[in-house]
Structure 1
């Protein structure tokens, strides 16, 4: 068993634009691993932490908090591994506006998943308009009561695309049932 700790200066796979910063990496037998904190820490040229990545046995993992935290002063990203049951598994904020939100199933090989709302929500950072919503259930695009994919114009918010899915299969939109009067 070989535990190693290294510090590199300049860009790496975690932050390729980090030309003047440093990256601290903990490994066990050549794989990302740290039991006492983040296995990868990236700092900018001023030595401020801009990203932290928690790994165990070469898998992103943290029990009581996000396994990835990135904050460069403008963009802030948090990702939970394993996925949370009580909230989104990934959030990206730009200037305090949530621009990306992802919900995943906490099951080992689960994909996107959310009951009662879209599993993926993308918002334009300039206009604040939600331009894409994708509904998933256990990794398959799915929605019972409407389109499982909705895309909107980023400037006007007008719907530009709607697709209907059930259990991952694309469906034709349901037409309204005729009203019966007695």
Structure 2
């Protein structure tokens, strides 16, 4: 197993390349990378982690080479603007805060959240 050191934004980060060519980035002993996936697999799989938890705010936190995608926030399956799990065969599953819900429940809950956010913004603007 090869170890390399990488200085990025004045933060000490260590990544390890295993015998298969997979790379894993660590910070303080936990999988962690802010500027890309913390795990890059030799087969093309990509996995984002922050402080040891699967996490990505601007896209899926797990992307498999076969096309499957999983959205995580703070270690929990979560996506507000669509299904949190997309399989290459077209199957979709909706999750909020780690809980599986139906597509209809997802639409209802996210519409309520948008309404509440708009209401707060308008109230603060006045």
- Give the TM-score range, shorter chain: 0.5 to 0.7
Given the alignment of the two structures, is residue 35 of structure 1 paired with residue 38 of structure 2, yes or no?
Answer: no
Query: Which residue of structure 1 lines up, in the alignment, with residue 80 of structure 2?
Result: 85
Offset of residue 3 of structure 1: 2.6
Aligned pair count reads 93
Bigger Rg, structure 1 or 2: 1
Q: Give TM-score, length-normalised by structure 1.
A: 0.46
Given the alignment of the two structures, is residue 65 of structure 1 paired with residue 56 of structure 2, yes or no?
Answer: no
Residues in 2 aligned to 1:53 and 1:115: alpha-carbon distance in whole angstroms:
25
Once the two structures are superposed, the pairs formed by residues 1-182 of structure 1 within 5 Å of their partners are 3-10=13-20, 22-44=21-43, 50-71=44-65, 75-82=66-73, 83-93=78-88, 97-98=89-90, 100-105=91-96, 107=97, 110-116=98-104
CA deviation vs aligned residue, 1:5-38 (integer Å, no higher than 9, x gap):
111123xxxxxxxxxxx10000011110001110
Q: Give TM-score, length-normalised by structure 2.
A: 0.65
Offset of residue 2 of structure 1: 5.8
Q: Provide the aligned C-alpha RMSD in A.
A: 2.2
Higher relative contact order (CA 8 A, sep 6+): 2
